[in-house]
Amino acid sequence: MGSAPILKIALSGYYGFDNSGDEAVLQSILFALQEQGQAEGVQIEPIVLSANPEKTTAMYGVKAYHRMKPGSLLQALRESDGLISGGGSLLQDATSSKTIPYYLAVIKIAQWLGKPTFIYSQGIGPVNRPMFYGWIRNVFKRCEVVSVRDVESAELLGRMRLPRERITVVPDPVMGLPLREAVVDVPGGGAAESAVRTIGVSVRFWNEDRSELEALARSLQLLLAARTDVRLRFLPFHLPSDEVASQFVIDRLGDHGGRSELVRGVTHPQDMLAQVAGCDLLIGMRLHSLIYAASQYVPMVGISYDPKIDQFLHRLGMKAAASTSSFDAKAFSEEALGLLDAREQWAAASRATIEELKAQAQLPAQRILSFYKSK
């Protein structure tokens, strides 16, 4: 019996930057490719473009090349049988005007080299510079598969005049990320200490004046004053900046600061997923903190700093409880307490939607494998 054919696929994204959400995207894509490859009798050999190739190789056991060294990047694309771009919010110009040109250039080079290219569950936008519209459309037109993680991204591509029938809307890949087989006992969480309710908190810096973090701290003070059985677990998703943002909030909790812990140095996505799974409620600014919570049936209270937060919550029939521009501390704490007490009801009501999102998270990998199978 012959051995399984080998398919080498390069992956481009925001990988190797110690951002738990983007690392979770990478690991979720790797899992999905492996699973779909096994189903099709194909051995997948990923080649990851990373800001820290050594760390990426050590963490996932895959080949990795430096994403910013032209020689390395070309070598990775030449070695590959195709390129996946995604997931995450790669094509947006809110954080920098250089982001879109970089990710499009990687796809374009792969296309010049004659490699099939695939857009994998990306969140598109915001794109504030109309000059990028034509660039994105022209590159995407030559991709074999275009999948985006929400309807709003598909609509934005439609405004860029990319034919709607080319675009598939799928969940964020992280909805499909499993817990490790043997989950390590997470301090303070779960049934072992059922008398204590653990609220996970994921924050980031956004407003220059830190007004949203000041408002969140007031809200958490109200919450802790109302409930003596609650502890806070701060979960920094992007190191080191989220650790600093978390400490900023803890320092403003006054007498209640002693009832909080800051989880430090978690970089592996499944370790962070286990931390979230051990919470009774999650308060999150980071998109992937909310996705982790949903995937583990942990109710969440979202703070919106970007449309992607609202778009994800809409899929669960929810709205953000506050935003970086409008934050009512009292109303926020009341919503959090209400969900904390209604955890089981929330999980039961959301289960069908979450199960569907988890199943659909595999779709882009299925489509990529069937593309190669048809060849």
- Residue 182: what pLDDT? 58
With cut-offs at 50, 70 and 90, classify the pLDDT of residue 95.
confident
Asked if the model's pLDDT at residue 184 lies above 60, the reply is no
Average of per-residue pLDDT across 343-359: 96
Residues 268-323 pLDDT 10s? 999 999 999 999 999 999 999 999 999 999 999 999 999 999 999 999 999 999 99
Residues 220-252 pLDDT 10s? 999 999 999 999 999 999 999 999 999 999 999
- Residue 194: what pLDDT? 63
Helix axes 307-315, 287-295, angle to 10 degrees: 10
- Residue 195: what pLDDT? 86
- Name the architecture of domain 191-357: 3-Layer(aba) Sandwich (3.40)
Task: For CATH 3.40.50.2000, list the domain ranges present in the chain.
Answer: 6-170, 191-357
Residues 106-135 pLDDT 10s? 999 999 999 999 999 999 999 999 999 999
Asked if the model's pLDDT at residue 209 lies above 80, the reply is yes
Asked if the model's pLDDT at residue 186 lies above 50, the reply is no
Residues 308-340 pLDDT 10s? 999 999 999 999 999 999 999 999 999 999 999
Q: What is the CATH number of domain 6-170?
A: 3.40.50.2000
Average of per-residue pLDDT across 170-180: 94
Global confidence as pTM: 0.91
